[in-house]
Structures are given as C-alpha cells and as structure tokens.
Structure 1
C-alpha cells in the first residue's frame, strides 16, 4: 500500500473516531498568543462591516482591538456574541455612525476607546448597557455637542477623554457628567470651548483632574465653587484667557495649575487668587527678564517660605544673574529652566540661596559649553541628585565642570554636540550612578575620564564617534551594570580595554564596525553578563573552524547578532554558541547565512526565544535535528528564510513551542506529523506561503480546519497560488480519496512493463510458458492423477514423436521392427491413434501418459517443429519431475552439440541419459549395425519405469562401448 493510501486511511479513521469541531482560526482577527486566549487584534483588514469582522470570535473574548479598518458604521447588536468583553478599542477607523444598540449587552465592558474616527454625533442611548464602563475615549473625532443623558448609565465612569473634537458648549458637557460620582479625569483639550459657563449644574465632587488646554477660552465664567474640588487644572495654550477670569474663583484644592501660553499675568493672578503659589507652574507665562522674575519671587516668598518645584520653562529667559532667584522661596525640589534661551549657566551661581535643591533641568537651551567651575566664588549644591543639560549645543566640557554638584547621581549630557570631554570633566562625582553622554561627537575615551566615578552603574555613550577602546578606559567602573557603546565606529578593543567591568550585566555594542567578537569577553564577563547586543556590526565567518567567544558566559540570557553589515555572518560555526546554556533569547535576523549546521544550537538548552527571519540566502534546507536541543523554546520566528520543507525531523523536538511564525517562506506543503509533534503549539503563522491546493495538502487542510488548539493566522484568507479565487481552507479534496492520477500512473506503468516484458518472455520462455499452460490445463482436468493411476496398465508401449519429414522412416523401419517381426509392442502414432475431434494438445498429453515410453525420432526438422518440442517437453517432465524413465531419444542424423545447445530441454536430457543413433548406409556394415540398433531399442522399451541411478547409467555406457551388451535395463549408444 502506498504512503498516500495510508494517509487517506488514517484520515478516514480519524474522521470516523472523533467529533468534528470548528477550526481555531479567525477571518479577520488574530488572538494574542500570550494573552491566555482572551485578547484579539483585528488590524488593517479590508472588511467594512463590523459584525463580519468579529462574527467568528469566541464568547470568552475579553480584550478586543479593531484598528485601521475601513469600517464606517457600528450597527445594532454588533457585539452581542461577546458578552464577556471588558476592553474594546475601535480607534483609527472610518466610523461615522454608531447605531443606538451598537453596544447592546456589553454589561462587562470596562474600557471603550473610539478615538481617531469621524464621529460627529452620538445617540443618547448608545451607552445605556455599559454600566461597568470606567474608561471612555472619544479623542480626535468631530463631536460638537453631547446629547442629553448620553452618560446617564455610566455611573462607574472614571476617565472621560474627549480631546481633539469640536465641542463648543461646556454647559452641555458639565450637565452630561454632573451625575458621574466616580469620575476623576475629564480631558477636553483641543476643542473650541470659549468659556466654562454652565447652568444650574456642578461638576461631580470626585472629579480631580480637568484638562482644558488648547481651546479658545477667553473667560472662565463659572461659579465661585465650580472648580472647588479640582486638584489638577490645565488651562495652557488658551492665548485669550486673561487674569481677571480667575477673580473670585475657589482654587484652594488645586495642587497643580498650568497657565502656559495664556494672557494671564502670574503676579497679578497670585494677588487675586486663593491658590497656593507653590502649586502653579510658571512655565510659559512670559517671565523673560530679571524684573519680572524678581517680582514673582518676592510675591512667592511672601506667601511661602519653601517651594518644592519652580517651573520657569518656555519663558524666553536669556540670562540669570545672582539676584534673579535670590528673593524666591527656598527651592527644595526641582527647578525647571527648560526651553529657554540660556547661553550659559555660570556654574549655577544664581542658585547661591538654594542649597537644598535636588533636581535642575536646563534642557532645550542654547548652551555652547560647560566651563570649569573650580573657583573661589563657586556655589556648592550638595543636595543636587539630578542634573540635565540635554538638547543644547554644548561642544566642550571643561575640567571640574560639575564641581558645584559633588553628590549628583544622574547627569544627562546627551543630545548635544560634545566633541571634547576634558579628562577631569567628571572629577569628584564619586556618587554618580547614571551618566548620559549619548548622541554627541566624542571620539576618544580615556582612563582619566571616569577615575572618580567608581559608583557609576549606567553609562550611555551611544551614537558618538568612538573607534577604539583603549586599555584601562573603564578600569575604575567596578560597579557598572549597563554600558551602551552602540552606534559608534568601534573597530577593536585593546587587550585590557574592558578590564575593571566586574559587575557589567548589559553590554550594547550594536551599530559599530567590529569584524570579530573580542575574545576577552568570556574572560572579563564570565560571571556577570546577561545581555550582549552585537547587532549591525561587520562580523563575518568564512569557515566553521571558529572557537566560541562565549564559552564562559554562563549567565548570558540575551544575545543579538542581527544584520551584520554588509554580507551578514555568511557561516554560522557549529561551535559558535558553545557554553551558552543560560541563553534565553537569540536574534539572528537579516544575516546571509548559507548553511545552518545540525549542531549549531546544541548548547542552547535554556533558549526560550529564537528569531531567524530573513537570515539566510535563497532557499533554505533546514537540517534534521537542527533544533533538537531547543525543547524550551516557546517562540520561534523563521520568516522569509526560503524554507522548502517543514518536517517532523526538523521541528519535532520543539515540545514547548507556543508560537511558530513561518510566513513568507516557499514551502508548498507542510507535513501534518510535524505540527502534531508540537503539543504546546498555540499560534501558527503561514501567511504569504505558496501552499498548493492539491492532494498533498489534503491532510494539512483538514488539520488546520479541524484542530482546536492551534490558531492558524488568517486561515480563511489564505489563497490558492494557482487560482486566487480559491481558498486553501476549502479547496476540493474529494478527489484525493480516489487518486486518479496515481491509478493512471500505475496502470500506464503496468501496460508499458507488459509491452516490454512480453516480447522478452516470448523469445526466452515461450515454450516453458506454453508447456506450463498445458500442464496446468491437464492438471486442472485431473488427467495427471488419472494417467498416473493407470501407469501400470498403459494402453501403448510407446508414443512415437516424429516430424512429418521423417514419416517414411517411421512407417518403413520403426513400425515393422517394433510391431512386426515377432515383436509384441503396441505403438501410438498420431495419424493413426489420435482421437478425432479432440483438441490436439489433449491428444498429445493423453498419448504421452497412456504410453510406457515416448520415443522421440530426432532430426533437424524435429528440432524446428513446435509440436515435437511440446511432446519432448511433456516426456521430459515425467523424466525429471516425476522421476519416471519414459523417454528414449533416437537420432536419425548427425547433429552437433552446438546445434543442440540452443534447445535447453533436449540438451539437459542428453546430459542426463545416453541416446541411440540410427546407423546410416555409410557405415561399414549397415545391416549388422541396424540389427543391433533394433535389439537395443527393444531392450530399452522393455526396461522398468523407475529411473536408474547415474552410476548405473555410467557403467552401462562403458560396457556398451566395450561390446559387452549383456542384458540389463540401461540404454546403449551405438557407434
């Protein structure tokens, strides 16, 4: 039975033995493989109808995202099949209309996000079933007003976001939310509100955060106590909002107020308002000169002695003198000077009265350098722990530039143009823990740069122009845990370039020019390193005889080798990953590996995640056993590798695999036993693969449609490559159960074989076959048994087999000498004794088995006769197969051994027995010789019917040759 037959039989048995179930795949959605079967994403589909998108989702779905689709209408009862839904996100679609009962029966829904659509109006009852809703976002739509009672049933609503709409009537909004006793956050930014006027309604007491930024407010117009419970109030970017709008308003509970880019005069505002001055963010309030700042500080100091945060960003400040902040209350927390026009900080001498400050932000200014601050008049800010100079234009940092903040823990100098970092620039920063120098123009790093920073834990030097790591550069950084050198031009490390990094856990070297992996890695980091990023370097191997550079990195858990430039890794040495038993994640994407050795991943027994997408050249033949030790891998990405075959021998050992991404490969079929050998598989992506819709995939089709555990991504959208109108999941497989192609092939093969073999058999085995046929016929008619039983009472003494050309000799010589002249033999001759009307073959068989002997009168014409050949075949059968002495050969002519050799059966008889030669007229005494011939023939005819042994035959032959012809029962050869 063929393999195809076995497979078809297996399918039949399985279908008969188990109950058919629905396939675990969805038309337009993907289940998140790590969400415990509860989260579904329906993104970038072409379906315009909401029910059509979600119609096949399971009732147990809890989290659903429907984004970037051409949906324009949410029809009634769209989600009735998902009663357990708790989180629904319908953003970035084309929704314009939401029917009244669109969200019917969603009693469990907690979060609804409909942002970035085209909604211009809402039905007043659209949310009536959403009783447990706590979060609602309508961001970036076209809403102009809210219908009365729109939120009447949303009593558990906590957050309401309606920013980026076209709302103009705040009174309607206030009325809609007034009864929401659990509402805490209301976001109305980016609308067209002109005031906060309202009728006889009030905001719920639970509301603590109100964002009304970027509207057209020119007045507040609300009652004195309207904002009485608000704690966070953002009124920024309302340029028409003036100071007097706050007169008489109760702001006692506000602890953060933003007035950025308004027309509010902060000094005047503080004089007329009951807000605590320390709770106002003064960023963007036009305080761009010393006079205004000093006036503000004096006012603040009259109100409070200490201020936890002073925000002065976006004020256009160009310079700060020693007196600018002198009159301010003591700053105990953060000073924000970001987004100003400062060109120098003058070693922060303007903070000479604020020695308790903890954080200073000078980002987004115009600083060109940080000069040395080791002077007599310097200010020591011993409590500063965080200092940020990001997003400036700093070119150089001089020695002792941070002498004034000796206890700083976080220093941010990133995103500048620093090309010169003085050797002593960071001197004295012994408590520094985080240093950001990324995105600058540094070329050299020296040992002296970090001598005092022995407590440093995080050092980021990404995106500079460093090319070499010199000896001892990091010698002092024994506590460093994270070192980021990515995006530089590093070509090599000097022998002791990495010495001192005793605690390093995360090492980023991606985007450099490394051509090989430094062998010192496994010496320096053998007990500490957990993350090593070598992406986008120039590492390449041309042979497999490379020792592992990771041999002692016993704790390494994350290794990235993606996208080596420009040729990729080319070869992956089979011992490359030797020793990485703790590795959890391995990235090998975008390399041009032309061969993956079967033992390449043998040491990675702890691996959980492996990505090989787009890593190979052309068509990839994965070797059997290449993943044999990866039994702990849960996610495998092998996209766009040119994989031709997915077999059990390759993937069968991935017993813990949950996610398998095979999309964009070239396999035309997948062995079902390979998928069935993955007991924990839950997510299979085979999109954009040319799976053929033929019988070789009939089992795969059945598996994908009927399995209940593995999600086949967008199964019902997979097209047949030869016909885009057909789908893989339902192509016709009925013909596969009667494989006409196979039967036609077998039939054709048999016919061709017969036409080839029959002529050969005819030439070589014609008479054997013909003889076998006749013997079978005779056997079937039980003639063998009958004739054998009558052997002792035979009808004839001899059956004479001769050719018609020898008939004269038979009639004139043989018959008179055996039947006449006193002889008592009875002969069977075909012309005389064959039964008329009977089949000639039956007559021959009957003659042979009705005669004690068969005498073959052999001549050249006899040898050429078909009927004579049949007669001698039958007689020789009795001679050899039945061991009966029944055959006598009489040669009328001299026939050479060469002429007889082509007649296999006769040659065999001649070798087995002696034979008689008729003495012709050319012999010396023909009369005497012929008389002797007849005597010998008569004696042979009288002999017994059992074949004598070869020894007797041999002795008899010798006696005949010597003339001793005493009576015995052997045949003699006449001279």
Structure 2
C-alpha cells in the first residue's frame, strides 16, 4: 500500500504540471499537486475531496490543524523537503483515513502528538532529532509497514515502544550519529533494515554488528572510504550475521577492501548479494579468493565502474568467473569481455546487459555445461553465426537473450546448442535471412522490431516452435504457418499488412492465438475473410476489435474492421457482370445508332485529318528551331535509393561507346556554382526527352518533385511530347502524397513503360525506350563552335 501511494504521488507530479488548478481527478481519487511552488503555508483552497496532497519542495515552516481538518478523505500527504519546525498538537487527528505521510528533509526537533491509527507509511528521516525518543509515540500504529527515522543518539529504550510492530521496512539515517547503545537495533521487528551510513568517518562497528542480526534483509547505502575505518573488522561482523539478502548501494572503495569484504560475506548466511553504483578504486591487483563453504546463490551488480585507467582486466573478471554460484548478473559495468571459468562452473543464469561485450565473449568455453539462461542484451555483438558457435558447448542452455544488438547474418554456417528453446533477437536489425540461422529445437522466438519483410520459402521447418513474435517489422502479409506445425501464438502487430491473404489465413488455421492489430489495413473485398475470422472467433484474435482499424481508403479510415461492411455485389463478379453488362450494352447500342443516324463518323474523320495535318506543319516548324539548342537525348530523374538500377542497368543498356546516345545525369552534368533549381531547368531545356524513374522512393524525394514539375511545365508550355515515365516498382495510389496530384494525373493520362522483372522481356523494353528518344543531334563541340562563329559574325 505504501509503495502504491508513493508511485501515485510521483505520477501526480508529472500530470499536474499541466493542470491550471493543480488538481487531478482520477476515478475515485482527487490528487492535488503543489510541489515546487515556493509556498510558505498550506493552501486553503483545496477540495474537501482531496485524497492525495503533495506539498514537497516548498518553504512551509508550520503545519496547522486548520490546514487539514476539512480534508476528511485525505489518504496521502507528502510534505518533504520543506522548512517545517513545528506541528500543531494532533494536527492530523481528523484525517482518520491517512495511510501515507512523508515529513522527511525538514527541521523537526520533536514530535509529541499521536498519528492516525491507519498510517502504513511514515517517513520522518533527515530532520534534526536529537534522539530516537520520537519513536515512543508510534506504538499505537499497528498498521505501520514502513518507518523512516534518524537521530544523533540511539538507545534501546527509544525502540521499546515500537518493538511489537510488524514492520516490513525500516530506514534509518546515521548522519550525525554520535551515541549508539549496543543492542538498540535488535529491538526492532522488521523484515528489511536499510541503513544510510554517515558521510564522514564515524565508528559504525557496533551499529553494523547489530544490523546483521536484526533482519534477514539488510541494505547499506553510502559505503565509502570516508565513513569506514580502515581497521574495521569485517570478520567479526560477518560471523554473527543472519542476513540472507544483502544489498549495498553507492559504494566507493578500494578494490582490495571491497573484495575482502565480499570474501567475509562469502562465508556467512548471505544467499543473495546485490551491489548498486559501485566505484572500484585502485590499485587493482590479483587477489586470491576462497570460494569454498558458502551459502551464496546470486551475485547481482548494477552500474559499476573502475576509477583507474591502467590495470589487468583479468584480475577483475577472474574473481567473478570462478564464483561457484547459480546466478551472476553484471549490468551497466562497461564489460568488454568475460574470461571462461577454469573448471566446470555451477552457473545456471548469467546476465551481462548494457555493457560493451563483443563477439569474442566466451570463445571455445567448455566449462559452462550447467548454464541454462544467458542474457546479453544491449551490448556490441555483431555476428549471429559467432553467437551460435559460442553456445555450441553450452549443452544445458535453454534461454538466450541477445536482443538490442546490431547483429548481422551473412549466410555463414550456424552451430547452435541443441538445448536452446527460447531465443530473443528483438531490435537487432536482422532481415528474413535469419530464419536460416536458428536453433532447430526452438520453441519461443522473439524477432520484434527488425527488418523482416517475409518468411523465405526455402527454410527448414521448425516443428517445435510454439510462439513467434514478429511485431514491429515490415511484413506485408501474415507469415506462412506451413513451416511451424506446432505454432500456438503468432504476433504480427505493427507491420505493413494491408489485407491478410486467404492462403496465409488458411495455413494458420491451427494457430490458437493471433495478434495482428495496429496494422494499416486496407478495407476492400480482400479483407472480408479476415474480418469473418475475427468476428467468428474474437478470443483467437488478440486485441479484437479495438486494435483492428481501417487505414485505407480515406473515406473509411478509423472504422473498426468489425463495423466495416461492403455489399456482396461489389465483391462477387458473377453478380456484378449482369448489373454492369446489360446497361453498358444498351448504352453502346444507343450511341452507335445515334452516331449512324447523324453521320457522326464522317465528321470525326474529317476533323482527325485536319488536326493531323495542322500538327505536322506546326511540329515541323518548331522542331527545326528546338533541335538547335538540344545537347542530350534525355534527362533522367530518379530517387537516390534507385541509383543502383540507373547506374548499373539503365546507363550501360542505353548509352553506347560511340557517344551516339547522350543521357543527362545530374551527378556528371550539373554545372558547379549554379543552384540546383537552375541546373534542373537547364538540363530539361537542353534534353530532347525527360525520363522519370517512378517508384515508392521517388514520391518521397522533394527534388524529384521539382524535376517533375519543370518537365511538366515544358510539356504544356511547348505542347511537346517530352515525358517518358518508367515504372520501376508499383506505386499504390494511397502512397502518393497529396502534393503529388500532378503525378497522379500524369499516370492516369499517359502511357508509361513498366520495367519487366523477367529477363526475356528486357530486350523489347530497351528497344521501345531507344525508339522513344531516338533523334539526330549534333555534337556539343560542333554546336559550341557554330555558336561562337555566329557570334563573331
């Protein structure tokens, strides 16, 4: 309950920065946040329904009864980090529902009144109490779970009044401690004891001696060379310990002293050792560590660094690699590698996350036969095949996490451990080729947030695979489940699936649960079978119906699939043919009869002949003038993403060594010093034709848009047929931005050349293209000479 309220107050701090009256109404709670407002007193305009009140980080000096007596619903009060000196007698007497109270980081010297009996969390640490006598008034708080205190004197009698309380967590600040009576901490009845050691050197031997016998869960913070005597006898403290879980935070010790302390802890009752924010100070030397006679099961290190630049890293890594424990975790410690144990290890779980480990981790390591779980997320791993070789000797390995690494697979042979059943490859930038390098007995495969577009057809079937996560990839259809005969759960959320095909739906009939929401569904006839499955088995489609919404076309965007309806006549061609055919035939017969009656064909032939004659005369006159200024047969416009096709296929196939065909390419023909716009216009003007290579990449390029605009301008201004459109990849209409309305019009009005995928059709394609740009142009040098001669004349 105390943790719940502390989280709730933190959430309110974020939300209420946007609130004008600093009050947030959430379900049956009213949260009032007045933190960081430079207040000198408690506001008097609070809602009487307030349940959570945050007054932290202000300048309040006094809390009065009148400040809270009307807040009968108050459950949480945070008045920490103020300058409170005094409290009214029984200031919170009427707040009987109060469960969370934080008065830490103030200037209180005494508390003489009774707190509400329902209080579960009380923090009065970081005040100016002279002794722990403040605890004498807390004996009636039978519901109390968390207590935070601190004083300069600590006596047994101070804790006698609360010895009967069943506390979950006691936090004691030892800053300024000058007098400690032996056995005082032993009066406490708590599951967890957390001590914040003093900043400066103080005799804490007796405190620690009692602390290790107070509870089974002990946490020590602020462990530095400044607050520990160099002659502190860790051995005596460790001998009498009953602690099973020991947590050390904010550690700044010499390497030798810290390892010596761990050595003493190793032979005690401690089973779980957690270290947070560790700084190893020099010198770092080789230390002989005795791993025998221990109860230790887990060593956990979060955020560690070394305070020296030059040292033998093996001295550090060898201490941890030889530990005869089940679980070892070293996170955020800048690890570059880890040495292999010298003898068969007891490790069952190893976690090295958020480090700098490379592919050379555990090379040819043959002493990790008991290892079952290995987590290496957020490192610098690169080769997937090397990761497989690393696991080949780990005969018991079941769960491997190498997510959030920039992995590559270059078709090398993979040698995974046959025991692996769970593999996490999320956020590794892998493509569909990864399916050729997977453990054969895999049961759970996580490939979330990668670059997978499909599942290859030439992969080995994974008959044991039960769960596959392909969310946040680039799939355009649900994967073919033929290769996964035992698949139970398929996740394909947040991909590029427009309409799941009937074939893939049919192949996934045995899959018990499918999660395919948050895809850009195109609501048309093809998606009707998918909608039918969603309606008939909503429990099978995870997230149905809220996560399944139409994205295209625009007129149905935002409609849930279950509410989308398309009449049968629009999708059934057998019904559509007679509806369209009969009226069309009747209309054609009617038009033909009217044309015959009014002799329309004769008039049309005459107009056509006149237009062609007129066009030939005009075109002939213009062509002779226009050809004088032409230098290139064609100017080519393309997206930079399609440059490989243009340079490696187009240019070698069109241009010849004799220079008879000249293509204007911006990379070699733009004139340095001129603006890009000026170069584009100049190249279009001096080219007989303008070729545009259309693809989805083309419509994303702003410069391609400019080039198309100027070429079209020339088309209409000069009434010339100068545009050639090459469709390299299909472009769905919905992908073309609205600003490309001219491109939509051109594609609808003009015939374009479509690049054939079959090599047998390439010859005809190039023949048509050469014929379209064929024209006799004079050599550019001849034009230049002619121009100079005419100018001199």
> What is the CA distance between 1:418 and its match in structure 2?
1.3
The answer to whether residue 185 in structure 2 is matched with residue 185 in structure 1 is no
Aligned to 2:289: 325
For residues 634-675 of structure 1, give each alpha carbon's deviation from its aligned partner in whole angstroms, at most 9, with x where no partner exists. xxxxxxxxxxxxxxxxxxxxxxxxxxxxxxxxxxxxxxxxxx
- Stretches of structure 1 that go unaligned for 5 or more consecutive residues are 1-38, 563-568, 585-598, 630-975
For residues 70-117 of structure 1, give each alpha carbon's deviation from its aligned partner in whole angstroms, at most 9, with x where no partner exists. 99786679665x5xx9x64657898968662555487786x4153788
**Which of 466, 477, 480 does residue 504 from structure 1 map onto?**
466
* Alpha-carbon separation, structure 2, partners of 1:555 and 1:116: 52
**Which of 563, 567, 586 does residue 627 from structure 1 map onto?**
563
Does the 8 Å CA contact 1:287/1:316 hold for their aligned counterparts?
yes
Written as runs of structure 1 = structure 2, the 5 A alignment for 1:539-938 is 539=496, 547=502, 549-551=504-506, 552=508, 554-561=511-518, 569=520, 571-576=522-527, 578-579=529-530, 608-611=544-547, 627=563
Aligned to 2:354: 391
* Alpha-carbon separation, structure 2, partners of 1:92 and 1:455: 51
The answer to whether residue 375 in structure 2 is matched with residue 417 in structure 1 is no
Secondary structure at the aligned position of 2:333 is classed as: coil
The answer to whether residue 94 in structure 2 is matched with residue 129 in structure 1 is yes
* Alpha-carbon separation, structure 2, partners of 1:602 and 1:210: 49
Aligned to 2:430: 466
Written as runs of structure 1 = structure 2, the 5 A alignment for 1:152-301 is 152-161=114-123, 171=132, 173-174=134-135, 177=138, 179-187=140-148, 195-197=152-154, 201-202=158-159, 204-205=162-163, 206=165, 207=167, 209-212=169-172, 217-219=175-177, 221-230=179-188, 231=190, 232-236=192-196, 238-244=198-204, 246=206, 250-251=210-211, 252-255=213-216, 256-262=218-224, 263-265=227-229, 268-270=232-234, 273=237, 276-277=240-241, 279=243, 281=247, 287-290=253-256, 292=257, 295-296=260-261
The answer to whether residue 446 in structure 2 is matched with residue 488 in structure 1 is no
> What is the CA distance between 1:387 and its match in structure 2?
0.7
Does the 8 Å CA contact 1:43/1:69 hold for their aligned counterparts?
no
**Which of 474, 477, 482 does residue 523 from structure 1 map onto?**
482
* Alpha-carbon separation, structure 2, partners of 1:162 and 1:415: 40
Secondary structure at the aligned position of 1:361 is classed as: strand
* Alpha-carbon separation, structure 1, partners of 2:532 and 2:127: 59
> What is the CA distance between 1:437 and its match in structure 2?
0.9
Secondary structure at the aligned position of 1:243 is classed as: coil
* Alpha-carbon separation, structure 2, partners of 1:413 and 1:319: 29
Does the 8 Å CA contact 1:493/1:518 hold for their aligned counterparts?
no
* Alpha-carbon separation, structure 2, partners of 1:577 and 1:321: 70
CA RMSD of aligned residues (A): 5.0
| Residue 287 to residue 128, structure 1, CA distance change in 2 (3 Å) | same
| Residue 132 to residue 463, structure 1, CA distance change in 2 (3 Å) | same
> What is the CA distance between 1:359 and its match in structure 2?
1.1
> What is the CA distance between 1:176 and its match in structure 2?
5.2
For residues 387-433 of structure 1, give each alpha carbon's deviation from its aligned partner in whole angstroms, at most 9, with x where no partner exists. 12222211223565553222222212111111235241011334333
* Alpha-carbon separation, structure 1, partners of 2:475 and 2:219: 55
Does the 8 Å CA contact 1:70/1:93 hold for their aligned counterparts?
yes
The answer to whether residue 21 in structure 2 is matched with residue 48 in structure 1 is yes
What TM-score, normalized to structure 1? 0.45
Does the 8 Å CA contact 2:478/2:505 hold for their aligned counterparts?
no
* Alpha-carbon separation, structure 2, partners of 1:389 and 1:417: 12
Does the 8 Å CA contact 1:48/1:69 hold for their aligned counterparts?
no
* Alpha-carbon separation, structure 2, partners of 1:606 and 1:259: 45
Does the 8 Å CA contact 1:362/1:389 hold for their aligned counterparts?
yes
| Residue 626 to residue 278, structure 1, CA distance change in 2 (3 Å) | closer
* Alpha-carbon separation, structure 2, partners of 1:497 and 1:103: 70
Aligned to 1:359: 327
For residues 446-494 of structure 1, give each alpha carbon's deviation from its aligned partner in whole angstroms, at most 9, with x where no partner exists. 796563243423x2222223234345423513322xx332333334432
Secondary structure at the aligned position of 1:160 is classed as: strand
Does the 8 Å CA contact 2:523/2:551 hold for their aligned counterparts?
no
Aligned to 1:308: 271
> What is the CA distance between 1:305 and its match in structure 2?
6.0
**Which of 433, 438, 447 does residue 398 from structure 2 map onto?**
433
* Alpha-carbon separation, structure 1, partners of 2:405 and 2:561: 47
> What is the CA distance between 1:524 and its match in structure 2?
4.0
Does the 8 Å CA contact 1:319/1:344 hold for their aligned counterparts?
no
* Alpha-carbon separation, structure 2, partners of 1:258 and 1:443: 43
Q: How many pairs are equivalent?
A: 528
> What is the CA distance between 1:360 and its match in structure 2?
1.2
* Alpha-carbon separation, structure 2, partners of 1:531 and 1:508: 8
| Residue 247 to residue 258, structure 1, CA distance change in 2 (3 Å) | closer
> What is the CA distance between 1:508 and its match in structure 2?
3.6
| Residue 364 to residue 325, structure 1, CA distance change in 2 (3 Å) | farther
Does the 8 Å CA contact 2:401/2:425 hold for their aligned counterparts?
yes
| Residue 448 to residue 220, structure 1, CA distance change in 2 (3 Å) | farther
> What is the CA distance between 1:201 and its match in structure 2?
3.2
Does the 8 Å CA contact 1:519/1:549 hold for their aligned counterparts?
yes
> What is the CA distance between 1:170 and its match in structure 2?
6.0
* Alpha-carbon separation, structure 2, partners of 1:528 and 1:178: 59
* Alpha-carbon separation, structure 2, partners of 1:517 and 1:524: 15
Task: Please tell me whether Structure 1 or Structure 2 has the larger radius of gyration of its CA atoms.
Answer: 1
Higher RCO (C-alpha under 8 Å, 6+ residues apart): 1
> What is the CA distance between 1:270 and its match in structure 2?
3.0
* Alpha-carbon separation, structure 2, partners of 1:366 and 1:620: 51
Does the 8 Å CA contact 2:545/2:561 hold for their aligned counterparts?
no
Secondary structure at the aligned position of 2:563 is classed as: coil
Structure whose residues are more often helix by fraction: 2
> What is the CA distance between 1:505 and its match in structure 2?
2.6
For residues 250-306 of structure 1, give each alpha carbon's deviation from its aligned partner in whole angstroms, at most 9, with x where no partner exists. 33224314144342248614356587357355665555334x3675467557xx466
For residues 156-189 of structure 1, give each alpha carbon's deviation from its aligned partner in whole angstroms, at most 9, with x where no partner exists. 42322356x766666475455455344332235x
For residues 722-763 of structure 1, give each alpha carbon's deviation from its aligned partner in whole angstroms, at most 9, with x where no partner exists. xxxxxxxxxxxxxxxxxxxxxxxxxxxxxxxxxxxxxxxxxx
